[in-house]
Structures are given as structure tokens and as C-alpha cells.
Structure 1
Amino acid sequence: MYPIYLQLKNRKCVVFGGGRVAERKVKTLHRYGASVTVISPDLTPELFRMWINAEIICHYRKYHSGDLRGYFLAISATNDPQVNREIYEEAKREKTLINVVDEPENCDFYVPAIVRRGDLQIAISTSGQSPAMAREIRKIMESLFDESYEEALKIVGNIRSHLKEEVDNPVERRRIMDTIVMPQVMASLQNGTIKQVKDKLREWI
């Protein structure tokens, strides 16, 4: 599969199922700005809370034919293989992106394990072969990329914006940015104060 990041802000997404797995999917979609609808006759306490607080839309019932009409993306997390199959087939007809949990052969996309440090996101996928392995790799990556990378990325982003205004030559801008992300500069970004970082940049650039 082709790895890609999707812009889901205000996109209509639907999740079938109201258990713990569905809850994780719903919370992730909501975190990324999707307009999320849940269709299920049962809800976890957390999904019920999100519904009551108008964070999600909920249809408190089982799947009905026609439920996918108008949705950009769907996740089927029911415990009924026949229902999952019907949802998959309708998604194909409606041209809705579909993920059937634990059925990689019935997925247009996989949901990766994610390491997130602010705007830094590292997605780990085993192409549906072993979600457990993806979770273990995520733990390793979380230890390698700690919270300091969030602030470091903010600083780099601010420098990049400044360079766009101050340096007309794109080749020179790229040279400076390449210098900034060298290991020794990254160490300063993570461990030093902003003043120390600026002093170091004057030395290296």
C-alpha cells in the first residue's frame, strides 16, 4: 500500500461498533478533526460521554443498508463477520474508504501505530500482518523520540518561516535548513535554551 497522510478535518467519517476497539478508532478520528458518526446498539461509557457532549453523532442501533451514503471514510469494528461483510460491500458501491478491523483483505487503508510529538508524527505499519509488532516498534520509537522533539520542531518551523522572508535564494535556504537538522544542531535544539540555539546557529551557518 502507498503510505499517505489524509486531511480529515470536517470530513464525514462513520464507525460501526461501540466497543473498546471502536472507541479507539473514534477518538483518533475525532482528534484529527473528523466529523464522526457512530452506529451501534451499544456504547462504551467513553463513547456515550462523547455523544452526550456533542463531540460525535450517534445512531443508537444496528447497521442498516444505506448507512454509508455520503461518508468519506468508514471503519467497521463490529463483532459480526456477516455485518462487516455487508458494510464492506456497501462501502465499495458508495466509493467510501473502508477499514474492516482485523480483516486486512477487506481494507482500503490500514490504521498505523503512531508516535506523536506535537506536529511530528511517525506512523508504523505492518500492512495488517501484525498490529502487536507495530505496537512494540512504537514503544521503541517513543523512547528514541521523546517530548523534546516537539519543541525542537517548533523552533525549526519558526526558523524556516523566517528564512522564507529573509533569504531569497532557495538553494541557500535549503543549505541552512539542512545544517539546522544536523545531529549536533538537533542536540542543541533539544537540550538548550532558545538563546543557546541561536548562538549555535550563528556558528554553524
Structure 2
Amino acid sequence: MNELFPIFLKLHQVNTLLVGAGAVGLEKLQAMVSSSPNARIHLVAEEVSEGVREFIKDRKNIYLSERAFRDEDLENVGFIVLATNNAVLNQHIRVLATKQNILLNVADKPDLCDVYLGSVVQKGNLKIGISTNGKSPTMAKRLKEFLADLLPEEIDETLALMGELRDSLKGDFQEKVKALNEHTKGALKI
């Protein structure tokens, strides 16, 4: 059973630490910035790939420390992503993160993770997260492609109108929910 609780992090409000700047680090970095362009990311790595250097070149919200990880790198951090193939380092950071109650994702190591970075479908303000509970990122990617093709392009316009409608409704919470449910009934006929 998938017992994950889905949430969306405001990475522009949470200091994020990314350890590792190779191909996997670049993939994680791109995923975070794609969903949250103003994410505040501290990138720590002894070796930095050219792809990572190019990606972060003009981004003021990504700070690079080209060196080994230090325990003090966790100060004021709310989220950690590890993209290293160093099992000893990953376990060390896992222990520190647990002690400090910092959420952790470790690439390709579901057992070390507090959170997974799922596939994301985005059309304007609509964002759908997909998780396979760490079982098959490839299947999540296929579902992402399927849903992206399935959702109408004008979905963002519909969301804007629904936001205006919600803001204009009077009455108590239950009355508003009833009105919105009635209005959206049959909205997505697929």
C-alpha cells in the first residue's frame, strides 16, 4: 500500500541543500527549478559537471560551494537532496537530517528517503504530482506524458475563472463548497 502523503513544497521559502553536481545532480536541479524557478538552493559538490555549471550560470538563487560536504551545511536548511554515489556520505547525512528533522531525498535510494521527487505534470497553475512509491520512476514518467497530452490547453483559463468564482461566493464554507462542486460537475469530460 502506498502510504505517502502528497504535499507541494514552496522551495522559494525553504532553504534547500543539494549535494552532488554530476548527471543526477543536474537532473534533480532541473526538476526543482522547473517546478519552482525561484527555489533557494545551496549546491555542494567537490566536482561540478559542465552541464551543472551552464545551468546555474545566471541563476542568482543557486549558490555553489565547490568542496566536500560539511555538517554545518545543514544550518537553516529545510530540505536536502542527495545526488551522490557515496553510500557512507549519504548515510552520514541521513543521520544528521533525522536528528535535525530535515526532510531528505536520496537519488535511487528509496529506503533513505523521507520524500520522493515524483514526476510532475504542469499546465499553467495546474500541477499534478505522480508517485509510484519509489517502485518505478519510468512508469511515473509515462503517466506524466499521458496526462500532459490528455489535459486541455485551456485548463489554466478555467482555473482562473474558478478562482474568480470562488472569490465572489458569499456564505459559509459548506455553501461555497456546494456551489463550486455544482459548477465543476462534468468539467472534465474525457
The two structures have a TM-score, normalised by structure 2, of 0.84
Matched residues in 1 for 2:15 and 2:9: separation? 13
Cα displacement string for residues 115-152 of structure 1 (whole angstroms, at most 9, x for unaligned residues): 11122111110111111111111111112213221111
Question: What amino acid is aligned across from residue 139 of structure 2 in structure 1?
Answer: M
- 1:1-205 residue pairs with structure 2 within 5 A? 1-30=4-33, 31-32=35-36, 33-53=38-58, 54-163=60-169, 167-168=170-171, 170-183=173-186, 185=187
The structure where helix makes up a greater share of residues is 1
Deviation at 1:91, TM superposition (A): 1.6
Cα displacement string for residues 80-111 of structure 1 (whole angstroms, at most 9, x for unaligned residues): 22222222222223321111111000001111
- Tell which structure's C-alpha radius of gyration is larger: 1
Question: What amino acid is aligned across from residue 38 of structure 1 in structure 2?
Answer: L
Matched residues in 2 for 1:168 and 1:121: separation? 29
Would the alpha carbon gap of residues 168 and 18 (structure 1) be closer, same or farther in structure 2, given more than 3 Å must change? same
Cα displacement string for residues 141-187 of structure 1 (whole angstroms, at most 9, x for unaligned residues): 11221322111111111111122xxx33544433331222122x557
The percent identity for this pair of structures is 26
Q: Which has the higher contact order (CA 8 A, sep 6+)?
A: 2
Cα displacement string for residues 30-63 of structure 1 (whole angstroms, at most 9, x for unaligned residues): 4424310000123344532454422300001122
2:19/2:84 contact within 8 Å kept: yes
The two structures have a TM-score, normalised by structure 1, of 0.79
Matched residues in 1 for 2:56 and 2:147: separation? 33
> Which blocks of at least 5 consecutive residues in structure 2 are unaligned?
none
